[in-house]
Structures are given as C-alpha cells and as structure tokens.
Amino acid sequence: MSFLYLVVSSLLLGMLVGKYTTLDFGNLYEFMLYLLIFTIGIDIGKSKGLREELKKLGKLSLLLPASTVVGSLAGGFLASLLLKVPLKWGLAISAGFGWYSLT
C-alpha cells in the first residue's frame, strides 16, 4: 500500500510544481522515457531462461504482440473515421498501445 501512496504523492507534487513554478523541463520527459525503456531492456536481458522459453513457445509467441499492434492500429483507423479526425492522428494515438504493458 505504501507504493500507491508514493505514486499518488509524486503525481500530486508534480502537479503542484507545474502549477506554481515556471520551470521548463524541455525534453526531459522524452529522455526519461528512453531511460525507462533502456532499464526495461536491461531487466529483460537479465531474465534467466528467457531465450529457452521463447524457443519453447516458438513463432506462436509472436501472435499476441502482432495481434495487439494490428488491433490497435485498426481501432485507431476506425476511430479516426467515426470521430472525423485526420487519419495520421488516429493512427499515431492508437500506436501508443500502452507502454506500461512492457513491464
């Protein structure tokens, strides 16, 4: 439960700093995203038995991620038609398909 408090407190503190200061973080968020992805790569690389597990699952293990990509982009395509937004916007937004799921 203390982790939840840490996350919520960090978010609220960030909102207060953003509201009451003129700090310009520039592209710091982008750098932090790359750092997060790099850290996830390290964690995946340290996983023991990952290579054997992937070999055991075979090509079928690629079906779920590929389906996620295709489904997300199809949803973005349909949403852009229904909401009358530019196609590139609909596809760009849907292409995010949850970076949190990497962890």
Residue 97 to residue 75: CA distance in whole angstroms? 10
Q: Which residues have CB under 8 Å from 103's CB, separation 6+?
A: 40
What does each of the 103 residues of the chain score in pLDDT, given as a tens digit? 688 899 899 999 989 988 898 888 778 888 888 898 899 889 888 888 887 887 888 887 788 888 888 998 999 999 999 999 999 998 888 887 655 554 4
Helix 63-83 to helix 87-94 angle, to the nearest 10 degrees? 140
Amino acid of residue 15: M
Q: Which residues have CB under 8 Å from 44's CB, separation 6+?
A: 50
